[in-house]
Amino acid sequence: MKIMQLDVLTYVGPQISLSDVTELKRRGIKKIIVVRPEGETDDQPTISDITYAANAAGIVVHQIPVVPGHITDEAVKEFGTFVAQTTGPIFAYCRSGIRATSLWALTQSKNGHSTDNILRTAHSVGYDLSPMTSCLDAQAAIIV
């Protein structure tokens, strides 16, 4: 399992298996955000299977299904709300980790973090969000 830390409470990565839940618990993860729609590919575990394994390990699961290339304002808001309500580390995943990282980035931008720092952090864990620069700048300009 590949898990990358973006900030004090947020980790991201690609698709996990049911057996990866044990490792997430060992790392202190309290909540999992599934950023994939159900049935996006034939090889992904169902949300109910992930939820069952996570709940057995004491981890809460929340799904924010994002279709590749179509992150909505509602998804960004939901991600931000879920993270804000968390008292411990979260792990967000999608097929590759880029949608999960993008949701984090847009939330950070909305919360006043600089685009340069967001891009640098994402790059440091292997995700190039430079195509999102104008979107991050625009998100930062929105008054909440």
Q: What is the pLDDT of residue 28?
A: 96
Axis crossing angle, helix 115-124 with helix 98-110, rounded to the nearest 10 = 160
> Rounded distance, CA 79 to CA 73, Å?
10
DSSP-assigned letters across all residues of 101-124: HHHHHHHHHHTT--HHHHHHHHHH
Separation of alpha carbons 4 and 47, rounded Å: 22
pLDDT score recorded for residue 32: 97
Q: What is the pLDDT of residue 86?
A: 86
Rounded to two decimals, what is the model's pTM?
0.93
pLDDT recorded at residue 50: 96
The model's pLDDT over 33-52, given as tens digits with 9 standing for 90+, comes to 999 999 999 999 999 999 99
CATH code assigned at 135: 3.90.190.10
Asked if pLDDT for residue 144 goes beyond 80, the answer is no
How many domains are there within the chain?
1
What are the tens digits of pLDDT across the range 107-122? 999 999 999 999 999 9
> Nearest to residue 46, comparing CAs of 66, 58, 61, 31?
61
Helix 133-141 to helix 115-124 angle, to the nearest 10 degrees? 140
Q: Containing domain of residue 31, as a range?
A: 4-141
What percent of the chain lies above the pLDDT cut of 90?
A: 85
What DSSP string runs through 39-90?
TSSTTSPPHHHHHHHHHHTT-EEEE---BTTB--HHHHHHHHHHHHT-SS-E
pLDDT value of residue 41: 92
The predicted-structure confidence for 27-37, as pLDDT tens digits, reads as follows 999 999 999 99
pLDDT digits (tens, 9 = 90+) for 74-109: 999 999 999 999 889 999 999 999 999 999 999 999
pLDDT band at 139 (very low <50, low <70, confident <90, very high): confident
Residue 49: the pLDDT is: 96
Sheet architecture: strand order including 10-13 = 4-5, 10-13, 90-93, 31-34, 60-63
**Other CB atoms within 10 A of residue 123 CB:** 12
**Would strands 10-13 and 4-5 be described as parallel, antiparallel, or unpaired?**
antiparallel
